[in-house]
Structure 1
Amino acid sequence: MEQGIKKNLLIKETSCCSSSSSSVDKREDEDLGVKYKIWNESKKMWVVAGPAIFTRFSTFGTSVISLAFIGHIGSTELAAFSLVFTVFVRFNNGILLGMASALETLCGQSYGAKQYHMLGVYLQRSWIVLSVSALFLVPICFFVTPILEALGQEKSIAQVAGYISLWTIPVIFAFFVSFTCQMFLQSQCKNMIIVYLSAFALAVHILLSWILTVRFKFGIPGAMLSTIVAFWIPNFGQLLFITCGGCPETWKGFSTLAFKDLWDIIKLSLSSGVMLCLELWYNTILILLTGHMENAEVSIDALAICLNINGWEMMISLGFLAAASVRVSNELGRGSSEGAKFSIVVIVITSFAIGFVLFLFFLFLRERLAYIFTDNEEVAEAFADLSPLLAFSILLNSVQPVLSGVAVGAGRQKIVAYVNIACYYLIGIPVGVVLGYVVNLQVKGVWIGMLFGTFVQTIVLVIFTYKTDWDKQVSIARNRVNNWVVTDNPESSPDT
């Protein structure tokens, strides 16, 4: 009897151990599964984000290199170039980059749905829409001098700026070719070619700028000619890559189908343009507001250092914006709502982690960093005073652009445009004006107000993204792809 009881107890104990062991194994398998999913998603993210960040660094660096060489020509020329590129070129860049993000939505979703042949058609439609838009932007270049004089700028600077603005016309047309080709290649993860071309263009720009401005002393024409060449080299390379066999599945040649359904492309492009350009103009308004304050020269110098650092960091954020857009649009086009949600979580956490490290870096180093850019103690102290705001700005930039990229991937640019208008221009700027001028906090007050607008916008986008019915977004993406797909051309079939 005792032996029977012992035997039963032994069986139960063995059973319990076996059950416990199997549950542990199951948890370990689940952990390995989650780790694999995170690793796999991270690889897909960096395939897009890495080249996108480098490309944006290169584009930003092109203007910085031009600025450095023009600075050796004269202070008037330096101020004029800074005004043209900070205000007018950024204005054009914002509109065309925003409008090109419509292509990011369409190409990403079509690629995810394996409607590969439609990517080339969408690219050609975007060329048509953006080339016409660029033509409408060109006249601004002829009125830069009177615009700056009306804003109270010195006549000598305004006249040189008007001359430089005429040289930026080829740059405007370079933007629409560059942005559309980048969106087309990014959506199918073929953007390493953009990295190679950008690096080559940057090297050529440095050499050519030295030859034309230092060696032969051609002045502004030499510097601007080198700038134009630097912007167009990647474009020619990308066009050759796309049309000469680099994208056999997605480029089927030029087609009259590019002129079909243009109105739908125009509507999506306009909402995309409004969404993104409102963000890119936000910091420009900060510069304009601080130009009328007490001790404006020191304030603007300190703020210029902050915004220069913030501009470089923003290139990282825009890289993650591109990654979020591509990954979300691909997953929605593929029909996977869970995949889209998982992509969002991984990209937001990764971007926030990088932003948090930079936040701590700029929060604690403060005044020491200022002496890298200036020997003026007054400017260094003003920069140290603004450093906490710079740190918080970088932290917010690590989340907000990613959520904008999520909206681009889902084709919801119009809603984000409304959010931007409300948070930036109805909350941020009015609060900044009150704190800066009424409360007399000067440049800190303006920046605090505008940061508050960005903070509100980030909270709204977080709630908006969390509350989104992603199964519904899959249906919307599927309907968009199916409604716009072309099936009447046998050569356009994805099976050929």
Structure 2
Amino acid sequence: MGSGTTPLLVNNNHEEEDRKPVREVVREFGNESKRLWKIAGPAIFTSICQYSLGALTQTFAGQLTELDLAAVSVENSVIAGLAFGVMLGMGSALETLCGQAYGAGQFRMLGVYMQRSWVILLTTACLMIPIYVFSPPILEFAGETTEISLAAGKFALWMLPQLFAYALNFPIQKFLQAQRKVIVMAWVSAIVLVLHVFFSWLLMLKLGWGLIGAAITLNASWWLIVFGQLLYIFITKSDGAWSGFTWLAFVDLWGFIKLSLASAIMLCLEFWYLMVLVVITGRLPNPLIPVDAISICMNIQGWDAMIAIGFNAAISVRVSNELGAGNARAAKFAVIVVSVTSVSIGVVCMAIVFATRDYFPYLFTNSTAVAEETTKLAILLGVTVLLNSLQPVLSGVAIGAGWQSLVAYINIGCYYIVGLPAGILLGFTFGLGAMGIWGGMIGGICLQTAILLVVTSVRNWNKEVAQAETRVKRWGGAIASQ
């Protein structure tokens, strides 16, 4: 391998042999890229399909009444968005445990981990029911009008089945991702998306069921995703990772809860950070135009985030698998490859935003004032797109290695002690409006990304391998003894 560089340095024919390590690095980079895209490609496609379920429901609701559109939009972005963040975050604990157990060859542990996560997430879903039940006063407190709050609250009650689908879906996805069975998730999500489009049109528009049809279709779509993935797991046994239901799912729950909470805090702080931008902008004087412009930018950023989520999943799987298998160098090299790849895509996406900033606003609005404000904000959107090409990758590394608690503290400091106050100060005190708010919050993202880069660079990856081995033994002791 290319690590044997000492004889090359003293070889007189250095011009020919110096190319050998370069060729070898390029070959290794290409091989790692193939491994990366086998996970990231289907993961990105799956994320886009699942993101589209709610987005398309909003699109069809826009064909009804303005109040129906507002009800679906607010429930989807605030109530369901809150539940999505919590469930995704808590389910991400499996990325650490399942990925490292799979790398260590302890396949049976994966099924037990998934069941433990089900127990915790289903319990959490029950605890979140009051948020759905009392969503009208919660939304009014957040600044929504009484009419919209009541309509969104009514729709939220109809969407309770989706909450419990989330609780089952995310552990299933992390279980399958750890084994690199991402093609299955992509196929299931694609089929469900096609069905979702047809039945949304049929129930909401053709049969005239309105929001009731929207609730039936959206709930059914998420449960179809759950059942489709479960059917695959139960039939194939997932190469030994699934051996049936077991009471071991209720063993060591407290330790599992702590890791799940750390994962939830870490990801929710990231997931909600830019969502807060719209709420704060709504507090500006004459907020209608800035809020509309910010919403357009956040819509585009949301689609771009699906690419980042795919890379987040891919690097989490690669790092956890390699650490579990004891391959410190491979884990570190995977981080380099995915960072270079993701940032390269981020640069391209930023360039596209800059090049089309005078045109893309008109895809979303007929208002010249809103379009002009969006064009101004596009500079910040491009910077955010670039930063969000690297930041989720570093978060994925943290999840794969099990650094959730550390990153949660970093996120609190960078986002909510530095970024958010800076945005409020620039936006309101210095009168810079939406650009000031967003600019300050970008500062928080820059600081967090820089700190994570340092943490990842100085980490001793041989120690991470040892910690992964200890974690697998500690969490899998009761299972291995059966």
Report if TM-score (shorter chain) is over 0.5.
yes
For residues 238 and 197 of structure 1, the distance between their equivalents in structure 2, rounded to whole angstroms, comes to 7
Residue 387 of structure 2 is matched in structure 1 by 396
Do residues 106 (structure 1) and 97 (structure 2) align? yes
Residue 320 of structure 1 is matched in structure 2 by 311
TM-score where L is the length of structure 2: 0.96
Residue 165 of structure 1, CA deviation: 0.6
Which stretches in structure 2 are left out of the alignment for 5+ residues? Answer: 1-10
Do residues 458 (structure 1) and 449 (structure 2) align? yes
**CA contact under 8 A between 1:118 and 1:486: conserved in structure 2?**
no
Residue 50 of structure 2 is matched in structure 1 by 59
In structure 2, do the counterparts of structure 1 residues 263 and 143 end up closer, same or farther at CA, with 3 Å as the change threshold?
same
Residue 27 of structure 1, CA deviation: 3.2
Q: Which amino acid aligns with 2:224?
A: I
Q: Which amino acid aligns with 1:63?
A: G
For residues 237 and 17 of structure 2, the distance between their equivalents in structure 1, rounded to whole angstroms, comes to 45
Residue 379 of structure 1 is matched in structure 2 by 370
Do residues 49 (structure 1) and 48 (structure 2) align? no
TM-score where L is the length of structure 1: 0.93
Q: Map of 1:480-491 to 2, 5 A cutoff?
A: 480-486=471-477
Do residues 421 (structure 1) and 404 (structure 2) align? no
Residue 438 of structure 1 is matched in structure 2 by 429
For residues 19 and 436 of structure 2, the distance between their equivalents in structure 1, rounded to whole angstroms, comes to 52
For residues 43 and 164 of structure 1, the distance between their equivalents in structure 2, rounded to whole angstroms, comes to 44
Q: Which amino acid aligns with 1:280?
A: F
Residue 67 of structure 2 is matched in structure 1 by 76
Residue 191 of structure 1, CA deviation: 1.2
Which stretches in structure 1 are left out of the alignment for 5+ residues? Answer: 1-18
Residue 151 of structure 1, CA deviation: 3.3
For residues 480 and 290 of structure 2, the distance between their equivalents in structure 1, rounded to whole angstroms, comes to 61
Do residues 449 (structure 1) and 440 (structure 2) align? yes
Matched residue of 1:418: which SS? helix
Q: Map of 1:61-460 to 2, 5 A cutoff?
A: 61-460=52-451
Residue 149 of structure 1, CA deviation: 2.4
Residue 272 of structure 1, CA deviation: 0.3
For residues 151 and 197 of structure 1, the distance between their equivalents in structure 2, rounded to whole angstroms, comes to 36
For residues 478 and 148 of structure 2, the distance between their equivalents in structure 1, rounded to whole angstroms, comes to 56
For residues 171 and 433 of structure 1, the distance between their equivalents in structure 2, rounded to whole angstroms, comes to 34
Do residues 476 (structure 1) and 467 (structure 2) align? yes
Matched residue of 1:366: which SS? coil
**CA contact under 8 A between 2:248 and 2:479: conserved in structure 1?**
no
- Of 38, 46, 61 in structure 1, the residue corresponding to residue 29 of structure 2 is 38
Residue 262 of structure 1, CA deviation: 1.1
User: 1:361-415: CA deviations, max 9, x gaps?
Assistant: 1123212111111121111100110000000000000011100000000111000
Residue 295 of structure 1, CA deviation: 2.7
C-alpha RMSD of the superposition: 1.5
In structure 2, do the counterparts of structure 1 residues 166 and 488 end up closer, same or farther at CA, with 3 Å as the change threshold?
closer
Q: Which amino acid aligns with 2:94?
A: L
Q: Which moved more, 1:191-200 or 1:367-376?
A: 367-376
Residue 116 of structure 1, CA deviation: 1.0
**CA contact under 8 A between 1:194 and 1:238: conserved in structure 2?**
yes
For residues 283 and 138 of structure 1, the distance between their equivalents in structure 2, rounded to whole angstroms, comes to 25
User: 1:326-354: CA deviations, max 9, x gaps?
Assistant: 11101110111111110000001100000
For residues 26 and 238 of structure 1, the distance between their equivalents in structure 2, rounded to whole angstroms, comes to 50
State the percentage of identical aligned residues.
43
For residues 197 and 190 of structure 2, the distance between their equivalents in structure 1, rounded to whole angstroms, comes to 11
**CA contact under 8 A between 2:237 and 2:243: conserved in structure 1?**
no
**CA contact under 8 A between 2:109 and 2:479: conserved in structure 1?**
no
Residue 435 of structure 1, CA deviation: 0.5
Residue 3 of structure 1 is matched in structure 2 by none
Matched residue of 1:367: which SS? coil
User: 1:83-105: CA deviations, max 9, x gaps?
Assistant: 11111111111111011110110
Residue 24 of structure 1, CA deviation: 4.7
For residues 487 and 260 of structure 1, the distance between their equivalents in structure 2, rounded to whole angstroms, comes to 8
Q: Which amino acid aligns with 1:171?
A: Q
Q: Which amino acid aligns with 2:53?
A: T
Q: Which amino acid aligns with 1:198?
A: S
For residues 265 and 369 of structure 1, the distance between their equivalents in structure 2, rounded to whole angstroms, comes to 45
User: 1:286-338: CA deviations, max 9, x gaps?
Assistant: 11111121331111111111000000001111111111111110111011111
For residues 479 and 325 of structure 2, the distance between their equivalents in structure 1, rounded to whole angstroms, comes to 23
How many residue pairs match? The answer is 473
User: 1:40-78: CA deviations, max 9, x gaps?
Assistant: 111111111111111110111111110011111110111
Residue 487 of structure 1, CA deviation: 6.3
For residues 460 and 23 of structure 2, the distance between their equivalents in structure 1, rounded to whole angstroms, comes to 28
Q: Which amino acid aligns with 1:403?
A: L
For residues 44 and 438 of structure 1, the distance between their equivalents in structure 2, rounded to whole angstroms, comes to 49
For residues 110 and 277 of structure 1, the distance between their equivalents in structure 2, rounded to whole angstroms, comes to 25
Residue 7 of structure 2 is matched in structure 1 by none
Residue 229 of structure 1, CA deviation: 1.3
For residues 412 and 284 of structure 1, the distance between their equivalents in structure 2, rounded to whole angstroms, comes to 24
Q: Which amino acid aligns with 1:93?
A: F
Matched residue of 2:245: which SS? coil
Matched residue of 2:366: which SS? coil
For residues 346 and 63 of structure 2, the distance between their equivalents in structure 1, rounded to whole angstroms, comes to 34
For residues 150 and 177 of structure 1, the distance between their equivalents in structure 2, rounded to whole angstroms, comes to 31
Runs of 4 or more above 4 Å deviation: 487-490
For residues 124 and 105 of structure 2, the distance between their equivalents in structure 1, rounded to whole angstroms, comes to 30
In structure 2, do the counterparts of structure 1 residues 266 and 426 end up closer, same or farther at CA, with 3 Å as the change threshold?
same
